[in-house]
Amino acid sequence: MMYTVVLLGISILFAVSNNLLLHRLGDRTLQGKGEVFLFQTAVTAVWIVILSLLNRGWSISAEAWGWGSLYGVLTAAFLLCKMKAMSTGPASVTAFIGSSSMLVSAGFGLLYFYEPFSAWQTVGAVLLIGALCLSTVDFSHGDKAQRTWGVYSSLFFVFSGATGILFKLHQNSSDREEIDGMMLAAAITATVLFSALSLGFGYREKRALPKLPKSAAAISVLCGIVSCGYNRLNIRLSGLLPGTVFFPVFNGCVIFLTALATAAVFREKITKRRLAGILCGIAALVLISGGIG
């Protein structure tokens, strides 16, 4: 079990590092959705390089192509709906909705695979949602949502949760050892889709091909390395741990540690409400992680 805990710790470290890199990139570096999707294209291109080495070539089975193509489509759909939701409604509420999507993945494991979930873990899950609300939702801004925000935020929630379900199903199938082939197929699929979205949005926004700033290009390589790492580990971990434990613990740790890390690295102030959310979240994670063992 110590092996699993170490893998989980490394995955969380990679995910937090990815968030810090994206925070360093900032909102002003990339101009428009065309450049954002071009950045994602560069990230998944790095995945292709790494995974082709791990896979020892380009040989991908039909089964891995099936799983990987679906994963790639979900990844592209998830990001597209997230961007649309962020641009049509309150960003803080949208972020909370995205982080709450772990309930979909955890609930699937509970209902479909009959994974154990104690009363204390239930209390922890409820406490975690409250902590996430305190940590992510900015009550001081009364941003109004457009009519389409409800649709996009709902799809963002569904696609985010569906990715976790896909991981769980893959690791409970006969194809569970083909992680590298599956991820390579996903990376190829996502790269094609992100390229198309980049060209489409770039032409619509500027009537020109999008270009990636040099600073963003360097960060895309680093993001590609760490994001490939934690997604690779998460697929394996979804088979080693109950989904009712893994998804809440991973998502909760990443959100709260990212908040603390950004405060330390970028000197950002943590409000009393956010600090209360982080402390509440730590207590929730202690209760939920009782299922590890």
Radius of gyration of the chain (CA): 19
pLDDT score of 199 more than 80: yes
- Other Cβ atoms closer than 10 A to 53: 11
User: Among 159, 20, 134, which residue's Cα sits nearest to residue 84?
Assistant: 159
pLDDT tens-digit map of 64-114: 999 999 999 999 998 888 888 877 777 667 777 888 888 889 889 989 989
pLDDT tens-digit map of 1-37: 789 999 999 999 999 999 899 888 876 677 888 888 9
User: Among 88, 90, 85, 125, which residue's Cα sits nearest to residue 105?
Assistant: 125
pLDDT tens-digit map of 79-93: 888 888 877 777 667
**What pLDDT does 287 receive?**
86
Which tokens belong to 90?
A: 């309150």
pLDDT band per the 50, 70, 90 thresholds, residue 139: low
Report yes or no on whether pTM surpasses 0.85: yes
pLDDT score of 120 more than 90: no
The domain locations on the chain are: 2-118+143-241
